[in-house]
Amino acid sequence: MRLALRELRRRPGRFVAATAILALIAVLLMFLGGLLDGLLDSSTGAYRAQQADVVAYSTSARRSLPRSRIPEDLRALAAKAEGVTAVGGLGTLQVAARPSDEPQTRDLISTVLIGYELAPRGLPSEPPPLGSVIADSSITADGVREGDTLLLGAGRVPVKIVGLVDDTRYAGQASLWGSLETWRTVTQQLRPGQAAPDAVQALVIRADGSPERAASRVEEATDGALEALTLDEAIDAIPGVSQQRSTFNQIIGVTVLVALVVVALFFALVTVERISLYGVLKAVGASSGTLFAGVVVQAVVVTAVAAAIGAGLAALLDVAIPPGSIPFALSASRLVLSAALLLVASVVGCAFSLRRVLRVDPAAAIGA
């Protein structure tokens, strides 16, 4: 072990190439992870902010929020389900907005107007009055400030921004949180066919006990007319979320595999170079375990240094990327996870050299 660390210290040049390649892989891994987190954050914020256990859609909507319609009578049935403590309606309208001071602008802002009853995190329990909304803070990247008025849709229905809230985007769009009444009024004006006076699109439900049980109780109480999902299931059901997650995780998996191959090849070469030295060390009493532990220690140190460099570069990227340009969110947990994946890959990569170390015959040191 000490021998391996001494070699790293005294012959750093030998390990520079492997460290550099692994550092590039590390930064790629962290960048990909940051993109995934950024994309997911921008798609799921409105749901993650919900302080609820269950989200219910009409069964015929097949887990699609825009298609779902829940009339008053079904809502009443759901509210009576065992363990349910609170039910709130949710209505959404995806709509392009333009600032009222630049109504001719060609750059429309993609927004989603969300009417709520049960307040998500960061929002007042009493929704803002008719015609007012609290906007997701990401909208400031488009130059919109608190106090501004936005004109929604082709009908240019005005809503005033009376506050900002963080991390509540939905499907990549800035959310505008208002009352159900605001949502109904705007929908009535822009898409008269879609508006129903008493219906909502979804129910957010608070309940006692496990969310899974609460979900099945709501479904039973409504005789299957509602499909109730736990909050996590509902997040996964947001269009694109599970696809984004699986696509990025596959790319991340391949990248980790590349790191594993780099470590495996590098240390396989190093081990081949050391065969006569290992023979001598075995002859003077080193066990295969001690020698292999040295290889693992070197791989772990090289990878840890590379991961640290990668994390530094990823942090620089985070600073360099202008807010709102691409969805990139770098978190400490993502950096730690990426480093941990690389370390596991490096240890597994070393394992390919184990057989070679085991096969070194100490008797070969004599008569060589």
Partner 1 sequence: MSGTDGKGGEVTSTEPALRMEGVRKTYQVGDEEVVALDHADLTVASDEIVALVGPSGSGKTTLCSIAGALLSPTAGKVVVGGRDITEFSARELTEFRRTSVGFVFQSVNLVPFLTARENLLVVDELGGRKGDAKAARARADQLLEELGLSDRAGNLPGQLSGGQRQRVAIGRALMNDPGLVLFDEPTSALDSHLGEQVVRLIRDEMKRRGTAAIIVTHDQRITGYADRTVEIEDGVVEG
Site for partner 1 in 240-299 (CB under 8 A): 276-277, 280-287, 290
The reply on whether position 300 binds partner 1 by CB under 8 A is no
Residue 287, classed as helix, strand or coil, is coil
**Which C-beta is closer to partner 1: that of 14 or that of 69?**
14
Contact 43, 169 (CB under 8 A): yes
Out of 319, 320, 332, 368, the residue judged to bind partner 1 by CB under 8 A: 368
DSSP letters along 81-115, please?
Answer: STTEEEEEEEEEEEEEEEETT-TT-S-PEEEEEEE
Site for partner 1 in 8-67 (CB under 8 A): 10-11
**Which C-beta is closer to partner 1: that of 285 or that of 322?**
285
Out of 77, 79, 86, 365, the residue judged to bind partner 1 by CB under 8 A: 365
Distance CA 209, CA 332 (A): 32
**Which C-beta is closer to partner 1: that of 51 or that of 290?**
290
The reply on whether position 367 binds partner 1 by CB under 8 A is yes
Q: Tell me how far, at minimum, the Cβ of 284 lies from partner 1, in Å.
A: 5
**Which C-beta is closer to partner 1: that of 319 or that of 368?**
368
Q: Tell me how far, at minimum, the Cβ of 233 lies from partner 1, in Å.
A: 53
Residues 6+ apart with CB under 8 A from 128: 134, 162, 163, 177, 178, 179, 182
Q: Tell me how far, at minimum, the Cβ of 255 lies from partner 1, in Å.
A: 33
Q: Tell me how far, at minimum, the Cβ of 18 lies from partner 1, in Å.
A: 17
**Which C-beta is closer to partner 1: that of 105 or that of 276?**
276
Q: Tell me how far, at minimum, the Cβ of 269 lies from partner 1, in Å.
A: 17
Helix, strand and coil content of the chain, in percent to the nearest 5, comes to 55, 20, 25
**Which C-beta is closer to partner 1: that of 3 or that of 24?**
3
Structure letter (DSSP) for residue 329: -
**Which C-beta is closer to partner 1: that of 12 or that of 158?**
12
Which helix (H) or strand (E) is 116 found in, with range?
A: strand 109-116
Residues 6+ apart with CB under 8 A from 11: none
Distance CA 298, CA 306 (A): 12
**132-136 and 157-165 as β-strands: parallel, antiparallel, unpaired?**
parallel
Interface residues toward partner 1, by CB under 8 A: 2-3, 6-7, 10-11, 276-277, 280-287, 290, 362-363, 365-368
